[in-house]
Each structure stands twice: as structure tokens, then as C-alpha cells.
Amino acid sequence: MMEQITLHIENLTFEAIIGILECERLSPQKILVEAHITYTYQSEHYLDYVLISEIIRHHLQTKTYKLLESALIDIIDELKAQFNTITCITLCIKKPDILAPLVVGASVTKTF
């Protein structure tokens, strides 16, 4: 029987260059990522949360995105390409230090 399961990845924290401000382009800043990924689960067909975390980290650390929106769309497209059982993704990227004490970020939800 096929079930819809949602995988939650929270508090994925690392440094990356992302943003349009000059100070954001010069050195990495703390990034906080959360992902909620719904997929069709069938016995041995599960999502590898370690690999998903690595994909997210790799995209944000090897590319220098100017906009959070561009990063969100790029990461979601890559996750769907690698895991065809995904039916819905909500991805959120936050920059907790850029306007301290505020935490700013963006999120997107995409259903397939």
C-alpha cells in the first residue's frame, strides 16, 4: 500500500554566500534551512534525509545566489529530479544574522 509521508528537516545550519547587499557578497553568512518534503512511500522506497541535506548544503555553498527565491527554486528542482516520488516540497531559507535581532527569509511550496 502506498502512503504519503512527510519528511521534516529542521535546523540545517551552515555558512554560504547569498544576498544582494555588498556585505553579503564578500563573506559567507549563517544560513538556516528547513524542508518539509511529502513523498509516496512504498516499503523500500524512502527518502534519504542525509543525501537531501547534502544536496541543499552543496547548492547553497557552491553557488553564490543573489536572491533567496532563486536558491529555493533551484534546490527544489534538483530534489525533484533526484527523487521522483516527491509530491510536495516546502523549503525555507533564513538569514538569522543579517538584520539582527530580526530573522529574515523566504519560503516556497511546490506541489507536483
**Residues of the domain holding 57:** 3-111
How many domains is the chain partitioned into structurally? 1
Whether the model clears a pTM of 0.75, i.e. scores above it, the answer is yes
Report the CATH number at residue 45: 3.30.1130.10
Measure the CA–CA gap between 70 and 108, rounded to whole angstroms: 11
Per-residue pLDDT of the chain (112 residues; tens, 9 = 90+): 689 999 999 999 999 999 998 888 999 999 999 999 999 998 888 899 999 999 999 999 999 899 999 999 999 999 999 999 999 999 999 999 998 899 999 999 999 9
The pLDDT value recorded for residue 1 is 65
